[in-house]
Structure 1
Amino acid sequence: MQTEQRSLKEALRTANWAGCLTPEQMARVEADTFETFVPKGGYVCRKGDKVEHWLGIIGGMVKMNNFSASGKSVTFTGVPPGGWFGEGSLLKDEFRKYDAMALRDSRIARMPAATFHWLLESSLPFTRFLLIQLNERLGQFIGMVENDRLLNVDTRVARCLASMFNSHLYPGLEPLVQISQEELGFLSGASRQRANQALQLLEKQGLLSIDYCGIRILDLEGLRRFEA
């Protein structure tokens, strides 16, 4: 995807919240926001950290997860290129409640908290964007709890893929999703082998095709409705 090659400035100017800013506001965002590189398996941020930035994915993919004292992990969601996260912690001014780890080498945009709060105070359209963002995130997490408790693995994998196509949370995601079976397993709470079995079933149903460089979505609405 071209997303991987975009500069920080291009990523900021094409963000789905950028259109609601004035040129002056955008200029400050570009001046204050910086980029960091996080290798596969590295931490974008850690549970217990002081929240100092709003985080956007320029390239790569990040999972939000937590570990128990015994080492068990739970993954809340994956964030592909174009997605931004961490606004809830910034608004509540609390320490980070989760880890965010790179599923592959990732480029991260970091908007300082001071700039984020300045936008809230100076831009009503940006505030409206965040209200929608928080509502969409809530709906996503409610759906994840339902999926985890009520659905089998095949259906969870289908819903996990479908959930990535949220035009507000993850704008610009293309039909060919650059995600490995291992990464999909992490996000859907399944082993790589079990995720592979689910993908083969979904492929037979004509909902997707497994390509060399990812998973091509053929019937998004079918994935959203699929139940095994």
Structure 2
Amino acid sequence: MTRDYTESEGSCAWMHVLTEHERERVRGSLHRQNVDAGAMVCHRGDEARYWVGVLDGLVKISSVSVSGKSLTYTGVAPGGWFGEGTLLKGEHWRYDVIALRNSHIGLLPAECFFWLLDRSLEFNRVIVNQLNERLGQFIGQLQIDRLSGADERVARTVAAMFHPILYPGVDRWLRISQEELGYLCGLSRQRVNKALSHLCSLGLLQLRYGGIEVPDLNALRAYESDGAEGEASVLRGLG
């Protein structure tokens, strides 16, 4: 684990609301860790001692049920920070965080995190806004898991990764593979490929080498399938 004092604007956008004295405190406290693809960033049950950010790369937040079924809650794209709720409640991690590719992770110690909360009104606003946006994201994810067909699931998952508040490091282009997207959606790579092709045919996104570009984020968020596939999924679940 190393310290790094050259954080980019995209990976630590929240630093711009701080005073110079506060930024210096963060620079002196922030650690940077390189995590290989497939390795753990956070282990479920471990003590939460850091506010965690994805400086570069991609991670997924997930857990494994008693029956052994893996459930992915969300992905975290570059610029995204998470774990503030766990720190505020003084809890241990309730989920695993796994790197989907080689990633650079930022670790802000809890001591510095709470120091900022105690002295910076602007930082408090950042955290409250993030908690609110994260809640909306999880409510939307619950709806997708219960009602959406595969095409809509892929569309909403991609749109979620372009969230300007939660993932300020992502602009109009997201570096992600179909396999990584499949891990986040809970779908096979082949099914993701089919859904992406359909969404491309509608002009909702464009596939670039190594990633996805979204010309109109609002249109992608508003996409709904014809209902046949989603209804079939529900009926299979009832059968």
Q: What's the CA shift string for 1:25-59, capped at 9, x where partnerless?
A: 11010001110111000000010010000011111
Q: In the alignment, which of 154, 165, 168 is matched to residue 165 of structure 2?
A: 168
For residues 126 and 64 of structure 1, the distance between their equivalents in structure 2, rounded to whole angstroms, comes to 24
User: In structure 2, do the counterparts of structure 1 residues 75 and 142 end up closer, same or farther at CA, with 3 Å as the change threshold?
Assistant: same
Q: TM-score, normalised by structure 1?
A: 0.93
- Once the 2 structures are TM-superposed, how far is the Cα of residue 10 of structure 1 from its aligned partner? 2.5
1:1-228 to 2 correspondence within 5 Å?
8-11=5-8, 15-228=12-225
Q: Secondary structure at the match of 1:145?
A: helix
CA contact (8 A) 1:11 1:82 kept: no
For residues 204 and 183 of structure 1, the distance between their equivalents in structure 2, rounded to whole angstroms, comes to 21
Structure 1, gaps ≥5 residues long: 1-6
Q: Percent identity?
A: 49
Larger radius of gyration: 2
For residues 69 and 14 of structure 1, the distance between their equivalents in structure 2, rounded to whole angstroms, comes to 35
User: Number of aligned pairs?
Assistant: 222
Q: What's the CA shift string for 1:128-154, capped at 9, x where partnerless?
A: 110110000000000000111111110
Q: Secondary structure at the match of 2:101?
A: coil
For residues 191 and 58 of structure 1, the distance between their equivalents in structure 2, rounded to whole angstroms, comes to 27
User: In structure 2, do the counterparts of structure 1 residues 169 and 8 end up closer, same or farther at CA, with 3 Å as the change threshold?
Assistant: farther
Q: TM-score, normalised by structure 2?
A: 0.89
Q: What's the CA shift string for 1:90-129, capped at 9, x where partnerless?
A: 0000010000000000000100000001100011111111
Q: Secondary structure at the match of 1:11?
A: coil
- Once the 2 structures are TM-superposed, how far is the Cα of residue 192 of structure 1 from its aligned partner? 1.0
CA RMSD after TM alignment: 1.4
- Once the 2 structures are TM-superposed, how far is the Cα of residue 8 of structure 1 from its aligned partner? 5.0
- Once the 2 structures are TM-superposed, how far is the Cα of residue 183 of structure 1 from its aligned partner? 0.9
User: In structure 2, do the counterparts of structure 1 residues 128 and 174 end up closer, same or farther at CA, with 3 Å as the change threshold?
Assistant: closer
Question: Counterpart of 2:233?
Answer: none
Structure 2, gaps ≥5 residues long: 226-239
